[in-house]
Structure 1
Amino acid sequence: IWAFSFFPMLQGFLSRISDILLCRWTCRNCCQKCYECSCCQPSEDEVEILGPFPAQTPPWLISNQHEDKEDSDNTASEPPPTPQAVSPDRRRSSSDTSRSTYSLTQRISNLELRRPSSPLIDIKPIEFWAVGSKKEIVQPSVLRRTYTPDDYFRKFEPRLYSVDSNSDDIESLTDEEILTKYQLGMLHFSTQYDLLHNHLVVRVIEARDLPPPISYDGSRQDMAHSNPYVKICLLPDQKNSKQTGVKRKTQNPVFEERYTFEIVFLEAQRRTLLLTVVDFDKFSRHCVIGKVAMPLNEVDLVKGGHWWKALIPSSQNEVELGELLLSLNYLPSAGRLNVDIIRAKQLLQTDMSQGSDPFVKIQLVNGLKLVKTKKTSCMRGTIDPFYNESFSFKVPQEDLEDVSLVFTVYGHNMKSSNDFVGRIVIGQYTTGASESNHWRRMQNSHRTAVEQWHSLRSRAECDRVSPASLEVT
């Protein structure tokens, strides 16, 4: 009984050992090598499709393809066998192959139907069978719009990136070449920094061979109309500028004037000294003859030095008329509009011998009717006058939206009529955005004085944009 019960256990143990040892090399069913027999090959149910985009073709598909290709070549050279000549094993293997191929093709078609579609993906047909060594594996490619250089540069504005050829030419030319090319004359000046008092001293000495001014018809006038002077400033600050006296009827003026700029040494090294030679014309706008620009970081400011520089053309053909500092205040309870004329600076010079004698005329216009006129005192011999004078106008609150204030700067002239310098209009018929902003700030700040600088405008410009300017003299 013990032997009969032990024998099945021993038989099962030996069967397992034989399976482990023999299946490594041979198949238990057909006694062939495992990698050659058909029993150990995966069936069509065991084929794993990696998806529509495999990284590479499975090796077993490549081997089957090679075998099928060789078989097809052999069958092409030999006549097809008759049905009687085909053995049952051969018939079974062919049916299995066709069934496997059909099943694989059907699965691939199903996967193709489930393939995601997108307008940005260019999906090309994927080859699952290796057809040759020269054929590469097809990968999905993303459709990208191809841009040409014209597409990029068409968006650029050439004027923003263009290089001024004139400036490059001037920088590459010497003073002698600039003088020969433009024939605007030369300017003699000097600079020196005073470390003890922390100020820069600029000395304007003289100018040579200045051209005569141009008349209205474009022709050059004679020397009698040449009245030059020089404006000095430290860029980028053009407001705090200095100005020499006017030298009458000469093309070789001698100035010998010294000017001081209160500025620390490190800041002075960041500035550019700009000297502009201007021709004085009492009856029209002053015209710029030429300019000299010298970066102060290129010179030894402490040691100082003298320079003769050739004048180059300036993009600014006319000189600014000057600036006026005003303060406005409205009292609704009293119905009073208060105006303070504080100061002016860099006014257009109207007298060659004694500078200018400027004063300001203030005129109140209600709608298009002149209501009141007042004026400041006259400051003698200056283009940077300090007034600090206050004026008050009776303006009811319901009329505040209809009034305009016209500020006109004149140069006093005892022999003839006063010389017009510049004008601005603030109020209903304003002359610009700066004036509108000042009037709006005053309306929003009752009982509070509002100060602001204004750039003076010509009479023609004010008459063109403001009807209130036409109602005053």
Structure 2
Amino acid sequence: MAYIQGLLARISDLLLCRWTCRNCCQKCFDCSCCQTNEDEVEILGPFPAQTPAWLISSQNEDKDGDSDNAISELPPTLQDVSPDRRRSSSDTSRSTYSLARRISSLESRRPSSPLIDIKPIEFGIIGAKKEIVQPTILRKTYTPDDYFRKFEPRLYSLDSNSDDMDSLTDEEILSKYQLGMLHFSTQYDLLHNYLIVRVIEAKDLPPPISYDGSRQDMAHSNPYVKICLLPDQKNSKQTGVKRKTQNPVFEERYTFEIPFLEAQRRTLLLTVVDFDKFSRHCVIGKVSMPLSDVDLVKGGHWWKALVPSSQNEVELGELLLSLNYLPSAGRLNVDIIRAKQLLQTDMSQGSDPFVKIQLVHGLKLTKTKKTSCMRGTIDPFYNESFSFKVPQEELENASLVFTVYGHNVKSSNDFIGRIVIGQYSTGAPESNHWRRMLSAHRTAVEQWHSLRSREDCDRVSPASLEVT
């Protein structure tokens, strides 16, 4: 009977306790064959190498237990057995009771949050290959605006060759384009707060272009220079025209009233233009220089090679007008205030411009008036008023044709530019000015207008075809 109980105790040790030695069937804490040497230490898993505190405390309690207490606690059936058998059975019972006690102690002392080895979540289907699903990585999403913001517009502009020209020297630009060179100087006057630009001369300008697009080798240019501070191209200066020469000497000096800090943010643009009385003036080439790159106070002289310009033709100029309609009197009042940067028609004295105003009802010319002639200027001030009798029921069919001419004593007057305002306006700015006048009775409405060529006006406005 005792043998069977001992065998059952050993079997219970093997089945219930995972710390039972497989070789001697004793506790691994007391077994000599399971003790590890100091040189043979194996660290399993991600757990720390040291023994947890709750396990150490349970071991100490077991080792401190008294053997007599253990015997006294044995069941009564084993107390009457002989000493030898009692000793063997007591050893077995002691191990069984100690194991049960330790298990209950471990259950009570087990941490509430055991260590867990975290691994990627695996999803799979029977017969298919397992696929490991990794944690999701948040990626930044791009909107269409962010995508197109990466592009640099200057790389795709029409003037994209400007970067190439910046990398070239003046000698390389001259040999590549063969447009000549321009000599000029700049200096800033701190006492009077203005910038001085001096246009000195040009050399080796190309011959003019004929009507078939070829160079006229035997002809000569009639060059002049336009000066402006970008981005303000409207308030520009202009030199006199030099007759029939490819190496003109200008020696002209111009001032721009501008604060010093503002001047450093501007770019000086010098445009060399070929004067042609019988057609539009053609641009030969240009030179641009950021004023932030030079010492304005000290000043300096430069020879710069001309580069091609995207503007092949010079603008015809601008005209400032004021319109006012009085419904009660049926009067259409027109004020010709001023013009600026008109196309030069006289090589020696600039221009002698005047403005002709013509009233057209439907497609019939009814009235013509003109301003006085301003001598030797391309920036005339008129400040002249004119009044036309226009009943309110006829106002919607009326058109005003403004034509700027250069006075010529020897021949017919030279055409400079034209616009049409009213029923047959030549463009959106002219139509907008007419609508503003109609919506603001008894109030003068001013607006600048860019002059157009005769061909452009005749193509879009039937009223332009009815006047001379």
TM-score normalised by the chain length of structure 2: 0.69
Counterpart amino acid of residue 396 in structure 1: P
Match of 2:259 among 256, 261, 264: 264
2:457–2:464: 8 Å Cα contact kept in structure 1? yes
* 8 Å contact from structure 1 (residues 191, 306) kept in 2: yes
Displacement after TM superposition at 1:222 (Å): 4.7
Q: Tell me the SS of whatever aligns to 1:203.
A: strand
How far apart, CA to CA, are the structure 2 residues paired with 1:471 and 1:376?
20
For residues 407 and 285 of structure 1, the distance between their equivalents in structure 2, rounded to whole angstroms, comes to 19
| Residue 162 of structure 2 corresponds to residue 167 of structure 1 | yes
Shift of 1:219: 2.1
CA deviation digits over 1:416-442, x for unaligned, max 9? 000000000000000011101111111
**CA distances 1:363-422 after superposition (whole Å, capped 9, x unpaired):** 000000001000000000000000000000001111111000000000000100000000
Cα shift at 1:172: 1.1
Q: Does 1:289 align with 2:284?
A: yes
* C-alpha separation in 2, matches of 1:138 and 1:221: 78
Tell me by how many angstroms 1:162 deviates: 2.4
Letter in 2 for 1:343: R
Q: 1:100-151 deviations in whole A, cap 9, x for unaligned?
A: xxxxxxxxxxxxxxxxxxxxxxxx994499x99x955558999x9x99xxxx
> Does residue 1:216 correspond to 2:211, yes or no?
yes
Structure 1, residues 315-364: CA drift from partner, whole Å, max 9, x if none? 11000000000000000111000000000000000000111000000000
Task: Determine if contact 2:195/2:258 at 8 Å carries over to the other structure.
Answer: yes
Measure, in 2, the Cα distance between the counterparts of 1:274 and 1:141: 57
Asked if 1 retains the 8 angstrom alpha-carbon contact of 2:122 and 2:131, the reply is no
Alpha carbons 1:403, 1:427 under 8 Å: kept: yes
Which whole-Å deviations, capped at 9, do the CAs of 1:283-304 have from their partners, x for residues lacking one?
A: 0000000000000000000000
Q: 1:255 aligns with which of 216, 239, 250?
A: 250
Deviation, structure 1 residue 166: 2.3
**Where do 1:44-443 residues align within 5 Å?**
126-127=123-124, 135=130, 161-162=155-156, 166-222=161-217, 224-443=219-438
CA root-mean-square deviation: 3.2
Task: Find the aligned partners of 2:289 and 2:135 in 1 and give their Cα distance.
Answer: 63
CA contact (8 A) 2:179 2:284 kept: yes
Q: What is the deviation of 1:457?
A: 0.1
User: Is the 1:363–1:372 Cα contact (8 Å) retained in structure 2?
Assistant: yes
- Unaligned 5+ residue runs, structure 2? 1-8, 10-14, 19-120
Contact 1:329 1:448 in 2 (8 A): yes
Structure 1: gaps (5+ residues) = 1-25, 27-31, 36-123
Count of matched residue pairs: 351
Q: Which runs of 4+ in 1 moved over 6 A?
A: 139-142, 152-160
3-state SS of the aligned residue for 2:280? Answer: coil
Aligned-pair CA distance for 1:220: 1.7
Structure 2 residue 441 is matched with structure 1 residue 449: no
Q: 1:162 to 1:376 in 2, by over 3 A?
A: same
Secondary structure of 1:439's match? helix
Secondary structure at 1:289's aligned position in 2?
Answer: strand
What is the match of residue 117 of structure 1?
Answer: none
Tell me if the contact between 1:223 and 1:250 (Cα under 8 Å) persists in the aligned partners. no
8 Å Cα contact 1:359/1:377 also seen in 2: yes
Q: 1:184/1:127 Cα in 2 relative to 1: closer, same or farther (>3 Å)?
A: closer
How far residue 226 of structure 1 moved from its aligned partner, in angstroms, is 1.1
Q: Are the counterparts in 2 of residues 358 and 411 from structure 1 also a CA contact under 8 Å?
A: yes
Question: Matches of 2:184 and 2:191 in 1, distance apart?
Answer: 22
Q: How far apart are residue 156 of structure 1 and its match?
A: 10
Q: Structure 1 residues 255, 137: CA separation in 2 closer, same or farther (over 3 Å shift)?
A: closer
Question: Letter of the aligned partner of 1:162 in structure 2?
Answer: Y
Alignment check: 8 A CA contact 2:124 2:131 kept = no
Question: Structure 1 length as normaliser, TM-score?
Answer: 0.69
| Structure 2 letter corresponding to 1:317 | N
Cα distance change of structure 1 residues 352 and 155 upon mapping to structure 2, 3 Å threshold: closer
SS in 1 for 2:401: strand
Instruction: Give the distance between the partners of 2:406 and 2:186, measured in 1 at CA.
Output: 33
What SS does the corresponding residue of 1:325 show, helix, strand or coil? strand
Per the alignment, do residues 173 and 392 of structure 1 end up closer, same or farther by CA in structure 2, a change over 3 Å counting?
A: same
